[in-house]
Amino acid sequence: MRAMRIVGPGKPLELHDLPIPKPSGVEVVIKVEACGVCHTDLHFVTSQILGARYPFTPGHEISGIIHDVGQNVKDFKIGERVIVYPHFGCEVCKQCLRGFPNHCENPPLLGFIMDGGYAEYVLIPHFKYLIKVSDSDPDEAAVLTCSALTAYSALKEAGLENDDLLVIIGVGGLGTMAVQLAKKLTGVTVVAMDIDEKKLSLALRMGADYVLNPSKEDPIKFIKTISENGAGADAVIDFVNNSETAEIAFKMLRTRGRHVFTGMYGGTLTIPLTQMAISGIKLVSGKIGRPGDLRELVSLYKRGLIKPFISKKFRLEDANKALEELKAGEILGRAVLKP
Ligand SMILES: [Zn+2]
Ligand SMILES: [Zn+2]
């Protein structure tokens, strides 16, 4: 089978020919129909990753058809269309035992330590990570597993009340999904913030009430102007999460505001401690959701309440091009690879 593999940090992916994996026990082999191209993949390609064993196949937003099953697999049959919950836990750390494999302290990550979906076939270590999606569109279903799941989890962490003002910073793949989910599932007013006008018009199409371009107007002043008594936002989800956006997010918040950190750009935030003591502000991590959250999302998707926006499809061998376009900020919504 063909696979696009990471051969070392900073090097382009290489097309390799590998044997199709053979499942045993509770393992399943999936013929990949679509694999989402995620910023995490970009991070794995460009940076030296502690613990990575080169070469490896990235890709963790997978949909496909079951190709083969181990002898102890139950409830799943060859030929069924499935998606894969990507954040496999170790099953023995405190967080896994408490039902939070998304916060596993020793995660054997799909598309990192384990070979992922930038390939024609992928081995999944346990059938419990699969969810059937039957006749759903495989491209849309694939991106439910990470970009939509992270957006959904971030919204839950934002602890929204229906009269809240929510600011979503960065409306790429995750941000557009968060706009849709917030408008479909809650009564909140949504402000989408981005420096890219194309992304802002997409956010409006997805249901945002306001759009805000911080390169054109002062974002904090804007939020004060539209919020009740100039008090500020009830919650901000930062899908960029660099020093600049984190500071803007923090300054936008009103009393009892929630600041959800989701993006992976990185940097630092200086926090005024007295304000923290008296404001009731909460700082929370908005990491990818739990397996149960993915089941909820699939249910919302199957009922037509949400629809991931797929703007581009690439052939497997064009994975480097897909990653370059993602890096350059040229992908609206999400791109998928079609092995
Ligand atoms: Zn991802
Ligand atoms: Zn664990």
From the first residue on, what is the mean pLDDT of each consecutive set of 10 residues in the chain (339 residues)? 93 95 97 94 81 87 97 96 93 93 80 85 95 94 93 96 97 91 96 96 95 97 95 97 97 97 92 95 94 95 90 95 91 90
Place of tokens 């499942």: 23
Tell whether 173 and 244 lie within a shared domain: yes
Residue 145 belongs to a domain: no
Q: Residue 89 sits in a domain of what CATH number?
A: 3.90.180.10
User: What's the CATH code of the domain at 225?
Assistant: 3.40.50.720
Q: Which domain holds residue 209?
A: 151-285
Whether residues 214 and 242 share a domain: the answer is yes
Q: From the CA of 108, how far away is ligand 2's center (Å)?
A: 9
Q: How far is ligand 2, taken at its centre, from the CA of residue 64, in Å?
A: 26
**Alpha carbon distance 276, 283 (integer Å):** 10
The token pair that represents 252 in the structure block: 């936008």
Number of domains in the chain: 2
260 and 180 part of one domain: yes
Q: Which ligand sits nearest to residue 177's alpha carbon?
A: 1
Query: CA-CA distance, 80 to 63, in Å (whole number)?
Result: 11
Closest CA to 89 of 45, 125, 49, 36: 125
Structural domain contains residue 229: yes
pLDDT value for 114: 85
Query: Distance (Å, rounded) from C-alpha 158 to C-alpha 285?
Result: 10
Cβ-based burial of 289 (10 A; exposed 0-12, middle 13-18, buried ≥19): buried
CA of 254 to the centre of ligand 2 (A): 36
- Note the pLDDT of residue 52: 74
326 falls within a domain: yes
Report how far ligand 2's centroid is from the alpha carbon of 290 (Å).
Answer: 13
Q: Is residue 291 part of a domain?
A: no
Mark the residues whose beta carbon lies below 5 A from ion ligand 2: 89-90, 93, 96, 104
Beta bridge partners of 126: none
- 98 and 157 in a single domain? The answer is no
